[in-house]
Structures are given as C-alpha cells and as structure tokens.
Amino acid sequence: MSAKLFSPWTVKQVTLKNRIVMSPMCMYSSSNQDGKIADWHRVHYASRAVGGVGLIIVEATAVAPEGRISYDDLGIWSDEHIAGLKELADLVHQNGAKIGIQLAHAGRKAVLDETIVAPSAIPFPDMKVPKAADAGDIRRIVEGFREGARRAKEAGFDVIEIHGAHGYLIHEFLSPVSNHREDEYGGDANGRYRLLGEVIDAVKSVWDGPLFVRVSANEYAPEGNSLDQYIDYARRMKEQGVDLIDCSSGGLVPAPIDVFPGYQVNLADQIRAQAGVATGAVGLINSPLQAEEIIGNGRADLVFLGRELLRNPYWPYEAAKELRTTLERPVQYQRA
C-alpha cells in the first residue's frame, strides 16, 4: 500500500502528485535589483521539481517596489516581470511539478531607503519607522495584489499564496500588536481583517485557481492574536473562497520560540479541525515518518518543507524509499 504522503491531492482543477510542498523561502537573488528572476532561480526551483516535490511555491514576490523586504527580492509589480516568471513556471512544469507563487508586501519590515508603510507608525524593533498607510496607500496595496495575481495567471502559475504571516504587511494589519488604527482598518478583529478580506476579493476577481493564505497562527506575544482568533480568521477566509491555510508562526515581534520537530503542526491540526478548511503544516518537518504521520492522521492536507529541501533537493525519493513507496524517476536518472 502506498504511503499517504505520496497520494495525490486535488484542489479545484489542479492535482498535486503528492503532498510534499516546497515552502516559499526568500533567495535575495534577483538580477540587478530589478525584481526579475536570475539563473539562480532557474536552477534552484527546477532542481526541486526534478527531485520529486509535488508543489513548489516561489519565494515572497513583491507586489510593489516598496513592498520588497530587500532590493534583491523577486517582484511582480510590473508586466516586465511576466516573461521571466513564465520561464520559471515552464521549467518546473517540464520537470513534473506544479508551481505556486507567494504574493507579498513587506510593510514595516522592508529594508529600503524609500518611505515604507504599515498600518500604524510603529517600527519593528531597531528598524525604520514606517508611515501609517492612508486610504490611497491601502487602495494601491489592494490593487497591487490584484495586478500581481493577474500577472501570475499570465505567467502560468498553478497556485497563488497570499503572504499574511511573519510580521509583514497583512500580518501587521491582522494583529493588535502592530495595528493601532482607529478607522475601518483597525480596532476590533473585523476591522483588522478588512485589508486581508479586500486583498482576497481583489485576487479572486482575476484568479479562479487554487488560493492559499499563509498565517502566523501563534504570534508569541501575550497581547497579540490567539489561535482561537486565527481559527475565526480561517473561517472567514474559507467563506471568501480560500482553499488552504498555510499555518506558520512568529515574525511579528522578536520572541524566544521553543523550536522542535513539528512545533507548528498543532496549529494546522486545530485550524483544520475547527475551521473546516484544508491546511498545510510547516516547521522542522524533516523525517519521512513524521510527514507520513501528519498526512496519515489527518492533521494537515499538505506538508511544507523549507530548510530540509535546501539541504536535500531529492528528499522525496529518500522519503519514498523509507516509506516503501516506489516513485517514477526521470529517465535520465533511472540507471541510479
């Protein structure tokens, strides 16, 4: 009997050949600081497709120049980015995997010379003070995500993920720690959710494929959102048509985190069970048996691997061997 980790998973009209996802991880390697892909991205992502990953999610890709974490980030704020991103999507498809892209805005964590924006003029510790976003800024942010989704569709991506985690702009709006606004985008949970809700609607106006959202479901801040609040947010996202919640944690404030293998899996488990929405588990998932347990026991629908796939692009083949499942290898590698 095949391992559950290697069973297919279908969302909308997209079928992943297995439950292994390459988590989005910034490479800070764009060519000439123009947000365009470089040879590094072509090799980096295509090699994980050759390695047997079911879905590859490209790193945080900025929907606005001022939304980059650094000047070396990938971008999707211009139609000039489409050709390179299409080349990347085609390479991954040619090597047997599906490909997604994480649309992102860094907010107050942007390390740039330009003016940066956030829900409130509260800096991340020891970083630049941001401008509190006004109504025009918010309109441009929402439009940036819509246009980013349009470009991702034109480039041939299979999945879009909205980055709502790790202390970046959308997460900053969601949390009472960083959002002290008194208008309709702040105050209670309804107001703090408003920006994400508008971004989801904007993306869906041009995108009918699978839509994921990454959240930090543990903020590691006593005055921050609880897991119960993220379960409520997940219910709202499901009602808006989000297909999967990618359950990470942290990044909003500096905090000591008790890190151990699978330390975030409970977040995916609880959100899946209580919000009735598919989830992805991420966070020191290194062992094939551990990944199989997560999928086999219904604690998440997908497992997102980050650093493990940096160390070993061919982890899926090793996992299949350990789980006594046979994977079809590229013909060029069958002699091995």
Q: Are 278 and 241 in contact (CB under 8 A)?
A: no
Q: Where are the beta strands (DSSP E) in 26-105?
A: 55-62, 74-75, 98-104
The Cα 118–Cα 97 span in angstroms is 36
Band (pLDDT 50/70/90 cuts) for residue 336 is confident
- Say what the pLDDT of residue 32 is: 85
pLDDT tens column, 36-57: 999 999 999 999 999 999 999 9
Return the SS3 of 67: helix
Q: Which amino acid is at 14?
A: V
Above 80 in pLDDT, residue 97? yes
Catalytic residues: 163, 166, 168
- The residues facing 279 across adjacent strands are 245
The Cα 240–Cα 227 span in angstroms is 20
Given its phi and psi angles, is residue 66 left (phi above 0), alpha (psi -120 to 50 degrees) or beta? alpha
pLDDT tens column, 58-93: 999 999 999 999 999 999 999 999 999 999 999 999
pLDDT tens column, 153-189: 999 999 999 999 999 999 999 999 999 999 999 999 9
Band (pLDDT 50/70/90 cuts) for residue 95 is very high
SS3 of 211-227: the string is: EEEEEECCCCCCCCCCH
Reported pTM:
0.97
Q: Are 107 and 132 in contact (CB under 8 A)?
A: no
Report the alpha-carbon angle 281-69-308, nearest 5.
35
The separation between CA 117 and the C-alpha centre of its own chain, rounded to angstroms, equals: 21
Average pLDDT, the chain: 96
Q: Are 160 and 208 in contact (CB under 8 A)?
A: no
- Residue 50 — φ and ψ, nearest 5°? -60, -35
pLDDT tens column, 284-322: 999 999 999 999 999 999 999 999 999 999 999 999 999
- The residues facing 117 across adjacent strands are 131
Distances (CA, A) of 93 to 46, 96, 319: 9, 5, 22
- The residues facing 336 across adjacent strands are none
All structural domains of the chain, each given as residue ranges with its CATH number in brackets, are 4-323 (3.20.20.70)
- Say what the pLDDT of residue 102 is: 98
pLDDT tens column, 207-251: 999 999 999 999 999 999 999 999 999 999 999 999 999 999 999
- Say what the pLDDT of residue 2 is: 81
Return the SS3 of 247: strand
Q: Which residues of 302-322 are buried (b: 16+ CB within 10 A; e: fewer)?
A: bbbbbebbeebbbbbbebbee
- Say what the pLDDT of residue 199 is: 98
The Cα 179–Cα 183 span in angstroms is 11
Q: Are 193 and 215 in contact (CB under 8 A)?
A: no
Above 80 in pLDDT, residue 1? no
Distances (CA, A) of 220 to 14, 26, 117, 150, 247: 35, 22, 23, 35, 14
